[in-house]
Amino acid sequence: TQAQIGVTGLAVMGANLARNLARHGHAVAVHNRSRSRTKALMEEHGDEGAFVACETPEELVAALERPRRILIMVKAGAPTDAVIEEFAPLLEPGDMLVDGGNAHFLDTRRREAALRERGIHFVGAGVSGGEEGALLGPSIMPGGSRESYEALGPLLEDIAAKVDGVPCCTHIGPDGAGHFVKMVHNGIEYADMQLIAEAYDLLRQGLGLSPAELADVFEEWNKGELSSYLIEITAEVLRQVDATTGRPLVDVIADRAEQKGTGRWTVQIALDLGVPVSGIAEAVFARSVSGHADLREAARGLPGPAGVPAGSVGEGFAEDVRRALYASKIIAYAQGFDQIRAGSAEYGWDVDPGSLATIWRGGCIIRAVFLDRIREAYEEETPPVTLLTAPLFAEALGLAQESWRRVVAKAAELGIPAPGFSTALAYYDSLRAERLPAALIQGQRDFFGAHTYQRTDREGSFHTLWSGDRTEIGA
Q: List residues with catalytic annotation.
A: 182, 189
53 binds ligand NDP (CB under 6 A): no
10 binds ligand NDP (CB under 6 A): yes
Q: Which is nearer to ligand NDP, 190 or 218 (CB)?
A: 190
DSSP-assigned beta bridge partners for residue 221 = none
User: Of the candidates 33, 239, 341, 463, which one interacts with ligand NDP according to CB under 6 A?
Assistant: 33
DSSP-assigned beta bridge partners for residue 191 = none
75 binds ligand NDP (CB under 6 A): yes
83 binds ligand NDP (CB under 6 A): yes
Q: Angle at CA 388, nearest 5°, toward 386 and 390?
A: 85
User: Of the candidates 7, 71, 74, 356, which one interacts with ligand NDP according to CB under 6 A?
Assistant: 74
User: Of the candidates 4, 20, 32, 403, which one interacts with ligand NDP according to CB under 6 A?
Assistant: 32
Task: Please report, for residues 85, 107, 109, the alpha-carbon distance to residue 78 in angstroms, rounded to integers and kept in the order given.
Answer: 11, 10, 15
145 binds ligand NDP (CB under 6 A): no
For residue 42, give the 3-state DSSP assignment.
helix
Give the binding range for ligand NDP (CB under 6 A) out of 6-14, 140-148, 385-393, 433-441. 6-14
For residue 463, give the 3-state DSSP assignment.
strand
Give the binding range for ligand NDP (CB under 6 A) out of 28-36, 152-160, 286-294, 434-442. 28-36
User: Of the candidates 14, 137, 143, 206, which one interacts with ligand NDP according to CB under 6 A?
Assistant: 14
56 binds ligand NDP (CB under 6 A): no
Give the binding range for ligand NDP (CB under 6 A) out of 41-49, 76-84, 168-176, 444-452. 76-84
DSSP-assigned beta bridge partners for residue 167 = 162
Q: How many CB atoms lie within 10 A of CB 290?
A: 15
289 binds ligand NDP (CB under 6 A): no
Cβ of residue 98: shortest distance to ligand NDP, in angstroms?
A: 12
| Residue type present at position 402 | E
Query: Checking DSSP bridges between strand 51-53 and strand 166-167, what pairing results, if any?
Result: unpaired
Q: Angle at CA 198, nearest 5°, toward 194 and 201?
A: 140
136 binds ligand NDP (CB under 6 A): no
Between residue 108 and residue 127, which ones bind ligand NDP under the rule CB under 6 A? 127
Distance, in Å, from the CA atom of 183 to the CA atom of 200, rounded to the nearest integer, reads 26
For residue 297, give the 3-state DSSP assignment.
helix
9 binds ligand NDP (CB under 6 A): yes
DSSP-assigned beta bridge partners for residue 462 = 453, 474
Task: Please report, for residues 19, 22, 126, 258, 466, the alpha-carbon distance to residue 159 in angstroms, rounded to integers and kept in the order given.
Answer: 10, 9, 14, 30, 66
Query: Checking DSSP bridges between strand 472-474 and strand 461-464, what pairing results, if any?
Result: antiparallel
Nearest CA-CA partner of 207 in 287, 102, 280, 313: 313
Q: Which is nearer to ligand NDP, 102 or 266 (CB)?
A: 102
Residue number of the CB closest to ligand NDP reads 101
Q: Which is nearer to ligand NDP, 55 or 350 (CB)?
A: 55
142 binds ligand NDP (CB under 6 A): no
For residue 71, give the 3-state DSSP assignment.
strand
73 binds ligand NDP (CB under 6 A): yes
Cβ of residue 14: shortest distance to ligand NDP, in angstroms?
A: 6
Is the Cα torsion angle 58, 60, 65, 71 positive or negative in sign? negative
- Binding residues (CB under 6 A) for ligand NDP: these are 9-14, 32-34, 37, 73-76, 79, 82-83, 101-102, 127, 130-131
